[in-house]
A and B are shown apart, each in its own frame.
Chain A
Amino acid sequence: MRSWMPFEWIAALRFLGEGRMQTAFIIVGASIGVAVVVFMSAILTGMQANIIRRSLLSQPHIMIQPAEEVARPLRDLKGEAAIVQKRTQRLISIDQWQRHMEIIRAIPGVDVVTPTVSGAAFALRGDANRSVTLTGIEPGEYSRIVPLPDKVVAGTWRLTTTDVLIGTELALDLGAAVGDKMRIATPNGTSLTLIISGIFDLGNKGVNERQVYVLLRTAQDLLNLVGGASNLNVTVKDIWAAEDISQKINAAVGLEADSWIRTNSQLFLALNAQTISNTSLRIAVAACVALGIASVLVVSVVQKSREIGILRAMGASRRQVMNVFLIQGGIVGLVGSFFGTSIAAACLHMWMSLLKNPDGTPLFLLTWDPGLAVWAAVLATLTGVGAAVTPARRAARLDPVVAIRG
């Protein structure tokens, strides 16, 4: 008997030790439940992180555009003077974009802000021509938003006024290689011959087919937007805060700011639905574990009713008796969480080593969060204690006379 341990803990441990087989079974049950919950949580978190990472690989978290141009109806005393036609949207620059950039940078949670000029163009080489999206960037800052240097599969990550970076699909369509020349022509009649300095693969066929990167100044010249910026691109520290921050930006500078959550609303809804279904499943598993613990403890109360009666006769309070069973539930949950987390970690390790992409990399990257183990321990212990409430109350309510008589 350890001198630092209160009576309730000593009795709880002895009772658990006494019914070894019963205790072992319920701990195995709790361990499997915890393992399922932890494994599913890790897989879901990893899968969602992977989907989001892939989706955000070629786009900023928040895109800021100039306010939409609207036609102003002419009015006379009788009402509208003419049929108002919706105005076409020209490529225009964000007014005072440098000042806005400074304001946006100061908003808490904002990581990187960089301007781009983006518009439609034609990529021409010999007989081949393709319509493309021409994007002018500041390479240093932009690479912090889209990791282009890591995605260059041929040539180098270099952009001077005469360089252009194109995607793998466009390179195939144009029959172009690194070092080749190609012409970029815009609808306003401007064109420029550039040298392909690198070919990138952003993992998306559409992007690789249509996206062309040049220096910001080159794009400004080509799109007739000298000194301007058609977009401001923002990344934030917490991707889930993107929508809140976009609203703050809108309030601060009065520009249209779209977060990735809004522009990928279907993806976001799908992820949310996945989270809800997973949470429901986890709750069902936890309920099964709780019922398992409760049923074993109810049996234990019946088996030990005479001992409980004796303890009550010797001066044990109802609270002390109740605590003995609550502690047993908590111990089963805690020990179950330890084994369950270990089983889940082993399964995750197997998952990572067995399921791989054709190139040998893991199917998707799973990161082991120690916080998950702590949460599993806390929740499993609370589940165990919660499951023990009914048996514990039953034990505490036992009439010692009836219990002793058996």
Chain B
Amino acid sequence: MLEGVCKSYPGAGGAEVEVLHGIDFVLGQGEFVALMGPSGSGKSTLLNLVGLLDRPSAGRIRVAGNETTTLDEAGLTRLRGRSIGFVFQYHYLVPAFTAIENVMMPMLLARGRPDAPMRERAAKLLEQVGLTAWSDSKVNLLSGGQQQRVAIARALAMNPALILADEPTGNLDTKSADSVFNVMREANRSQGTAVFFVTHNPQLAARCDRIVELVDGLIVARER
């Protein structure tokens, strides 16, 4: 839930430039919401704030029932690791690790050491995204679509309340984009994970529960 969220950055000459102007928005549990808007409208900034990677200049953000304004750096990191999964446009896997190890990563960071249940969960997630055969492959040997599916499996690893997907299909062909979207939709339906899905693709947006449009730092339309 976002309440009156503003975000400013220092601009040229020291003046503050406001990118988001008082955003009020609620993402319900298990909702799959598309966020659309032109480039530079503040979509990534909004996603960074919801993902607790950045702090708002004003307003309040609640994630999975937790008020984040009062949390310190370590508290934000813990909440982010536990409750939020990220899928980025360029998949951003860690190339030094295999596919299954990348999926295990959020669990490994939370628990400190790898264990058998962690590996079983990662294997199950890779099975869900259809990549069991590739689980021990280095991620740079996988295609773009496959890497994005590994990223989705990784985002689901901690069974988060929310997945933030920043144009995950933006770099994929139609078939791969469709496949990636389906994987996310399936996870949303089967696990009740809320998804905030940034896209420029109106066909994919139309398949979401809701479409929110952001223009010049303001939500201008909410369609169901």
**Residues in B neighbouring A15, C-beta threshold 8 A:** 96
Instruction: Please state if B105 and A401 are interface contacts (CB–CB under 8 Å).
Output: no
Q: Given contacts A1-B101, A18-B96, are A314 and B81 in contact (CB under 8 A)?
A: yes
Q: Given contacts A14-B96, A312-B77, A317-B74, are A3 and B106 in contact (CB under 8 A)?
A: no
Instruction: Please state if A317 and B77 are interface contacts (CB–CB under 8 Å).
Output: yes
**Residues in A neighbouring B106, C-beta threshold 8 A:** 314-315
Q: Given contacts A314-B109, A318-B73, are A400 and B53 in contact (CB under 8 A)?
A: yes
A101 within 8 A of B: no
B88 within 8 A of A: yes
Instruction: Please state if A313 and B113 are interface contacts (CB–CB under 8 Å).
Output: no
B28 within 8 A of A: no
**Residues in A neighbouring B158, C-beta threshold 8 A:** 315
A140 within 8 A of B: no
B178 within 8 A of A: no
Instruction: Please state if A3 and B73 are interface contacts (CB–CB under 8 Å).
Output: no
Q: Number of A residues contacting the other chain (C-beta, 8 Å)?
A: 29
B92 within 8 A of A: yes
**Residues in A neighbouring B14, C-beta threshold 8 A:** none
**Residues in B neighbouring A312, C-beta threshold 8 A:** 53, 77
Instruction: Please state if B112 and A7 are interface contacts (CB–CB under 8 Å).
Output: yes
Find B82's partner among A1, A3, A7, A315 (CB 8 Å cutoff). A315
Most buried by B among A3, A15, A18, A310: A310
Nearest A-chain residue to B97, judged by Cβ: A14
Task: Report the bound CA distance from A68 to B69 in whole Å.
Answer: 86
Q: Given contacts A401-B53, A404-B88, are A315 and B110 in contact (CB under 8 A)?
A: yes
Nearest A-chain residue to B113, judged by Cβ: A6
* Residues of B96-122 whose CB lies within 8 A of A: 96-97, 101, 104-106, 108-110, 112-116
CB distance from B19 to the nearest CB of A (A): 13
Interface flags for B55-88 (1: CB within 8 Å of A; 0: not) read 0000000000000000001100110111000101
Task: Report the bound CA distance from A306 to B112 in whole Å.
Answer: 21
Instruction: Please state if A307 and B73 are interface contacts (CB–CB under 8 Å).
Output: no
Nearest A-chain residue to B86, judged by Cβ: A313
Instruction: Please state if B113 and A7 are interface contacts (CB–CB under 8 Å).
Output: yes
Task: Report the bound CA distance from A161 to B34 in whole Å.
Answer: 114
Task: Report the bound CA distance from A312 to B86 in whole Å.
Answer: 11
Most buried by A among B73, B77, B81, B116: B77
Q: Considering the complex of A and B, which 3 residue pairs feature the smallest CB-CB distances, nearest first?
A: A315-B81, A14-B96, A18-B96
Given contacts A6-B113, A314-B106, A316-B109, 15 further A-B contacts (CB under 8 A): A1-B101, A1-B114, A5-B113, A6-B112, A7-B109, A14-B96, A307-B94, A307-B95, A310-B86, A313-B51, A314-B154, A315-B80, A315-B82, A316-B77, A401-B54
